[in-house]
Amino acid sequence: MDTQTTATTEQIIRLMESGLGLTFSQEQKQILMNDFEKPLLVNACAGSGKTTIVILMILVAISKGLVDSSEVLGVTFSNRSRLDMDKRYDKYIKELSDVGLNMRDTQPLFSTFHALFLHLLMTNDEYKNIEVLQSPSYFTRQLKTKITHPSDVCSINETLNQIFTLNNYMINQDLTEDCIYPIGYGNMNDEEVFEALSQCTRQEHEIGFYQDYIEVVTYYQELKIQNGLVDFNDMKILLLQSMKDKKYLKQYQDVMKQFKLVIIDEFQDIDKLQWKIISKLLSSETMSRLVVVGDDDQSVYSFRGSNPKYIMNYCELMPNAQTLNLSTNYRTGGKILCAAIPGITLNSIRLEKSLQAFNSEKGTIFTYEPNNSEEYGILKHLAEQVNDSSIDNKEIAVLVRYNASRTIAADWLANHNIYANINNKSLVLQRNRYYKIIVETMRALWNNNYKYFYNQSSRIGFKKYTAHIDEVKKRYGKKRIVKLSKYLTLTQDSMNSLTSTELDEYGFEFDSAVIEEFNDIQNMKNEGPENAEIPVDLFISARRLTVRYFNFMTSRKFISIKELNKLFSYLAEELSMYKNPDDFFKHEDYKESILTKKEEVAKQQNQVQFLSLHQSKGLEFKYVYLYDLSDKEVHQGSLDINKFYRPDISFDNFVDIFSKRILFFRERTDKAFNSAMIEEYSDLVHEKSFDPRNFEESLNNKRVIQLMYNLYKAAKKYSAFIEEERRLLYVGVTRAKAELNVELIGNANPLLFELNLPKPRQN
């Protein structure tokens, strides 16, 4: 090894500064001076150069001769981070050789947890031929057949997704032994099993969902075995199981023995099983100098099993570990970071640290409040930037919390000749279920099209109306109907001539409504199609015909009224820009094709990327847009739950605080628990033995104590959820290097108001 063993660490650091053109902060230097005598936690804030420092730290250890590069293992969570580490290592080696710091070119091993676990498993004869299944979606077709309680609100694919999110959570939190049922299910009846499952998800599902969960997941396990496949969860579980056998444990430990220095990046994302495996397989010597690097403020994967408690309690996990901070953010403009700090510091589950920006004067924030005169201010600004030839579009990112937010934005942008890369074709407006109901009904009326009319008949008069149409058609014989007018004439004949059946009576009422709307529309068309009122009238006709369906769906809460209104007002506004519905339909077809067809996408000059807040982690952009962050899950008023009941609150403290709040601030307490949709609250307050004025006495009642305990658990869970949402918002804000744009919609996520934002932009 051509090391610099004669050079002191200070000299190596100075060479690094000159070779890389950086001036390290005192904190960074302190980390590079680490002597590897103790375990180390690098408690880093976003953009503080932790990846940079991790790699340089490895290079210092190698150049001082403490380890050979082949003895170093860097573990990450995603392939993207692994590649980033590999690339940066190469780059630094080259740049440092220019200043005389030469290292042999063998590379340390940078690996994801998955790849490492797979490698270990394959050393075991039993698993040497296993193949990896990247995702359950490989079996979607087969798994779909096991969904026998389809939801009225979610598609089958969405339901499958929810099933596997729940399954992952259970596996990663160690809540299941067989990867299907909750632990202890042998002593539970069905109802208790469903109840235990429902505790593992924040969504509220019908019993049918949990029945389907068991069917789907059981079948999934069978399919994997039949096909000789293992997924990422299986790897962890199979490793742990085989580690119970001393022979295999030793075998895996022998493989890991070569690594004398191990660094785990993004340690805030580690889950229980990953920690169990890694801590058992590394030698005690390597564990004694284990370096973990992470930012507890960026722990956003609890739904996948990540548990910030490992980073929070590292010093207890590894007695005599030391903690070093990286508190200067080199990425985020200072003004933007200042806006983020008041929010994130409200979290109670976080490590003590100071946060500051390297460049405190940098950064601009714009906020936008959509109103009647300016609904799309934020998108207009985005369009200007995308069209600005001096800006590289890769430097722009639109971040959303929920997938549906991509739909209208992408369509609006397509109207302005900008292609939004939303990464999911099913989210394109023209493929939206409710949009299709209206637009196909419009096409039926305008183009005299029977097929569209028939497609949407169940939305005009429910399934019974479709049955009536089938009946009328049957009387007509087997001939195909192409024109809606043909069907309407047939049914009119039936109305006049037949002794009507009950089905006819039901159907004629809807037929009459269709005839009326159809005639109106066709009369307008005959008077000349170029009339600014026609498109909107046509929309209103379609709305009238489908009103029963939408009222039914919203009253049963299958559709959110807010989301529906947003969609329809967008559609109405779109239509008001056309004189002829044909032009509208043509343009809609065009937009669908540019947003979904590969060859069309490739032709689009102006592209802009949409990412979820989760996807944006680890990335940085000059211009960031926080778009359509709504109160869908973090409801107005519910932040009080986190304010008064921290996620780690003890039961005694909870009871103490709750007793006072319910007595003196009853209205606000009702609001907080109700808006957080914590049903355990209403269970408690409706229990007749519970009396807030005689709180102490109520607690003598067994039932009250049980309900109180249920409420305590639910409040803690919701409080932890709020803190995770706060971290997610922090991740989003800190992606912005120069400019942050925030949309404050009417039903904005209340966490946005914890940020220090300027007044909305006036147009």
What are the residues binding ligand ATP (CB under 6 A)? Answer: 22-25, 28, 44, 46-52, 295, 330-331, 618
Shortest gap between Cβ of 84 and ligand ATP (angstroms)?
A: 8
186 is in an annotated binding site: no
338 is in an annotated binding site: no
Q: Which is nearer to ligand ATP, 49 or 305 (CB)?
A: 49
Shortest gap between Cβ of 358 and ligand ATP (angstroms)?
A: 6
Shortest gap between Cβ of 362 and ligand ATP (angstroms)?
A: 12
- Of 172, 166, 292, nearest to 232 by C-alpha is 172
Q: Which is nearer to ligand ATP, 49 or 136 (CB)?
A: 49
The angle subtended at Cα 25 by Cα 20 and Cα 31, nearest 5°, is 90
Shortest gap between Cβ of 580 and ligand ATP (angstroms)?
A: 51
The crossing angle, in degrees rounded to 10, of helices 79-97 and 50-63 is: 50
Q: Which is nearer to ligand ATP, 624 or 634 (CB)?
A: 624
Whole-angstrom distance, CA of residue 658 vs CA of residue 719: 14
Q: Which is nearer to ligand ATP, 268 or 448 (CB)?
A: 268
Shortest gap between Cβ of 56 and ligand ATP (angstroms)?
A: 9
Output the CA torsion sign for 747, 752, 756, 761: negative
154 is in an annotated binding site: no
Residues 6+ apart with CB under 8 A from 602: none
49 is in an annotated binding site: yes
Whole-angstrom distance, CA of residue 112 vs CA of residue 465: 56
69 is in an annotated binding site: no
Q: Which is nearer to ligand ATP, 25 or 710 (CB)?
A: 25
294 is in an annotated binding site: no
For residue 583, the tally of other CB atoms under 10 A from its CB is 14
Shortest gap between Cβ of 36 and ligand ATP (angstroms)?
A: 21
Shortest gap between Cβ of 549 and ligand ATP (angstroms)?
A: 47
Whole-angstrom distance, CA of residue 536 vs CA of residue 530: 13
Q: Which is nearer to ligand ATP, 301 or 446 (CB)?
A: 301
115 is in an annotated binding site: no
51 is in an annotated binding site: yes
Could you give the C-alpha distances from 137 to 43, 115, 133, 157, 215, in angstroms and in order? 37, 20, 9, 9, 16
The angle subtended at Cα 732 by Cα 727 and Cα 738, nearest 5°, is 135
- Of 303, 243, 309, nearest to 276 by C-alpha is 243
Shortest gap between Cβ of 423 and ligand ATP (angstroms)?
A: 21
The crossing angle, in degrees rounded to 10, of helices 207-227 and 190-198 is: 90
SS3 for 669?
A: helix
For residue 571, the tally of other CB atoms under 10 A from its CB is 24
Q: Which is nearer to ligand ATP, 212 or 295 (CB)?
A: 295
Give residue number: closest CB to ligand ATP.
49
Q: Are 189 and 171 in contact (CB under 8 A)?
A: no
SS3 for 705?
A: helix
Q: Which is nearer to ligand ATP, 49 or 507 (CB)?
A: 49
Q: Report the binding-site residues for ATP.
A: 44-51
Q: Report the binding-site residues.
A: 44-51
